[in-house]
C-alpha cells in the first residue's frame, strides 16, 4: 500500500477528511440497514484512527470528536444516552492508557534514520524490532535504512496494530506489550519513548539483548550510558545508538 501523501495530512485538511469520511461511512451503513450502533461505531472508529495523524493532543481530540459532535448538533438522529459513551470507548481502544504511560503517539520523521547503517551496521536478514510501532513511521524509516533486514513491530493498541499491518505489509506486526516482548531474538531494538521510560528500556536491553546487538533511541538518550554513535540527520531529532554490552558513564 502506498504511503499517504503528506499534503493530505496537514491541518485542517485532515480534520475535514475525517469528518466527511465518517459521515459517508455512517450514511452508507444506515442505507444498508445495519443497526444504528454499528453505523455509529464504524464512523467513530474511522475518526479515531485518523486522529492519530493529527499531531497535537487538541487536534487529535478535534478530529476524533468532530463526527459525534456534528451528529448531535445536526439533530439528524435521536440517540439514546448510552450512545454518547461510544466515542470514549473507541478512543480508549485506540489510545490505551497503559500505552500513554510509556509514550504518546509521535511519528518518526522519514529522514531521521538516513545513514544509520553506517553507524550501526547489521548483517543481511538481521532482525529489527520497533518497540511501540504506532502507525509504522519508524518501520518505514528502518526499512529505508536497512532494506535487507527483517522488520518486526509491536503495538499495544489493536486498532493501530491492524492499520499498521495494512500500511506495512512487509513487516511482521503483532499486538502486545513491548515490555513483555522478548528482545533477545533481535539484532536491534528501536525506540521512540520518553525520558522517564528510558531507564526501564536500558535495563531490559541490558538483561535480554545479546552482545553485538543495538539499542537505538530517537531524540532521548540513555543518561547513564555512553553512546556508541549519535546520528543527527533531522534537527532536534538525534538518534542515540548503544551497542551491547553497554558502556556506563562514570
d(CA 198, CA 7): 33
Question: What local confidence, expressed as pLDDT, does residue 22 receive?
Answer: 86
At residue 68, does pLDDT exceed 80?
no
At residue 181, does pLDDT exceed 70?
yes
Rounded mean pLDDT, 53-70: 72
Every domain of the chain and the residues it spans: 6-95, 116-248
Question: What local confidence, expressed as pLDDT, does residue 97 receive?
Answer: 47
Strand partners, 155: 175
Question: What local confidence, expressed as pLDDT, does residue 15 receive?
Answer: 79
At residue 60, does pLDDT exceed 80?
no
Q: What percent of the chain has pLDDT over 90?
A: 43
**pTM for this structure?**
0.66
d(CA 233, CA 126): 23
**Is the CATH code 3.40.190.10 the one for domain 116-248?**
no
pLDDT bracket for residue 149 (50, 70, 90): very high
Q: What is the pLDDT of residues 10-42, one digit of tens each?
A: 567 777 888 888 889 888 988 898 888 788 888
Amino acid at each position: 500500500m502506498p504511503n499517504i501523501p503528506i499534503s493530505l495530512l496537514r491541518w485542517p485538511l485532515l480534520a475535514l477528511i475525517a469528518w466527511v469520511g465518517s459521515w459517508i461511512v455512517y450514511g452508507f451503513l444506515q442505507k444498508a440497514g445495519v443497526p444504528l450502533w454499528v453505523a455509529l461505531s464504524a464512523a467513530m472508529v474511522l475518526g479515531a484512527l485518523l486522529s492519530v495523524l493529527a499531531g497535537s493532543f487538541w487536534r487529535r481530540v478535534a478530529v476524533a470528536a468532530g463526527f459525534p459532535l456534528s451528529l448531535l448538533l445536526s439533530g439528524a438522529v435521536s440517540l439514546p444516552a448510552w450512545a454518547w459513551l461510544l466515542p470514549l470507548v473507541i478512543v480508549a481502544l485506540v489510545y490505551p492508557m497503559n500505552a500513554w504511560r510509556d509514550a504518546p503517539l509521535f511519528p518518526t520523521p522519514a529522514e531521521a534514520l538516513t545513514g544509520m547503517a553506517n553507524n550501526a551496521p547489521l548483517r543481511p536478514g538481521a532482525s529489527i524490532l520497533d518497540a511501540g510501532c504506532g502507525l509504522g513511521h519508524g518501520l518505514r524509516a528502518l526499512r529505508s535504512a536497512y532494506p535487507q533486514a527483517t522488520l518486526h513491530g509491536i503495538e499495544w493498541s489493536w486498532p493501530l496494530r491492524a492499520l499498521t499491518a495494512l500500511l506495512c505489509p512487509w513487516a511482521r506486526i503483532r499486538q502486545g506489550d513491548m515490555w513483555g516482548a522478548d528482545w533477545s531474538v533481535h539484532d536491534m531494538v528501536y525506540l521512540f519513548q520518553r525520558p522517564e521510560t528510558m531507564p526501564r528500556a536500558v535495563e531490559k536491553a541490558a538483561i535480554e539483548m545479546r552482545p553485538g546487538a543495538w539499542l537505538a533511541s530517537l531524540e532521548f538518550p540513555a543518561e547513564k550510558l555512553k553512546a556508541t554513535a549519535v546520528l543527527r540527520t533531522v534537527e532536534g531529532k538525534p538518534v542515540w545508538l548503544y551497542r551491547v554490552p553497554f558502556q556506563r558513564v562514570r
